[in-house]
């Protein structure tokens, strides 16, 4: 990489490495090597590996929740439909990698719990806004989220037409 690297450059490379190779790839030396720089640049931006890991997890939250929510809110489509299309249509390698990381790391576990709560609250709010009673919306949000997690953790791709049929059925189920 030419020029001076920013913390954001390191975080982007960390997200790529995490997605491609898992959490064990989140170390200064291999990342520096892949970026063609010395690891001194890493320590210029991050006090230690823990600080870097925290930054990567923060970026995951932005990618996997906040950016999706912002796009759904800006979408002219019905919000539940837009959310289903965006989440079930996305590549979920990063989701699987972070959840695998969480099986071994307390900070990653906390990040997963926080994003799970954020997503559940958002889904529930969408359903309540649609007129679903709060207690029912809470149950449906949980079921919908479990459905998403099952889909995210399954690595077998699904043909687009079949996925669309399933999404249509999911939307009918949570909106009934």
Q: Distance between CA 119 and CA 171 in Å, rounded?
A: 17
**Distances, alpha carbon 131 to alpha carbons 29, 107, 123, in Å:** 53, 37, 13
The alpha carbon dihedral of 176, 140, 116, 131 has a sign of positive
Write down the pLDDT at residue 3.
57
pLDDT tens, 55-85?
999 999 999 999 999 999 998 778 998 999 8
Average pLDDT, the chain: 92
Q: pLDDT band at 105, cuts 50/70/90?
A: very high
Who wins on pLDDT, 110 or 77? 110
pLDDT band at 35; cut points 50, 70, 90: very high
Give yes or no for residue 2 having a pLDDT over 90.
no
Report the share of the chain in percent with pLDDT over 90: 76
**pLDDT tens-digit map of 126-145:** 999 999 999 999 999 999 99
Q: Is residue 97 predicted with pLDDT exceeding 60?
A: yes
| Structural domains of the chain in order of their starting residue, each with its CATH number | 7-175 (1.10.357.10)
The pLDDT assigned to 1 comes to 45
**What's the mean pLDDT in 42-47?**
92
């Amino acid at each position: 990489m030419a020029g001076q690297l920013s913390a954001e450059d390191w975080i982007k490379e960390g997200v790529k490495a995490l997605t491609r190779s898992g959490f064990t790839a989140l170390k200064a030396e291999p990342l520096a090597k892949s970026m063609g720089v010395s690891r001194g640049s890493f320590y210029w931006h991050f006090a230690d590996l823990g600080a870097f890991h925290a930054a990567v997890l923060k970026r995951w939250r932005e990618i996997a929740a906040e950016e999706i929510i912002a796009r759904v809110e800006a979408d002219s489509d019905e919000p539940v439909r837009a959310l289903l299309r965006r989440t079930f249509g996305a590549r979920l390698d990063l989701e699987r990698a972070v959840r695998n990381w969480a099986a071994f790391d307390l900070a990653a576990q906390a990040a997963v719990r926080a994003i799970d709560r954020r997503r559940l609250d958002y889904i529930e709010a969408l359903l309540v806004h649609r007129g679903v009673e709060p207690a029912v919306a809470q149950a449906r949000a949980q079921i919908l989220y479990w459905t998403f997690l099952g889909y995210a953790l399954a690595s077998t791709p699904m043909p687009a037409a079949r996925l669309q049929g399933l999404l249509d059925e999911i939307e009918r189920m949570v909106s009934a």
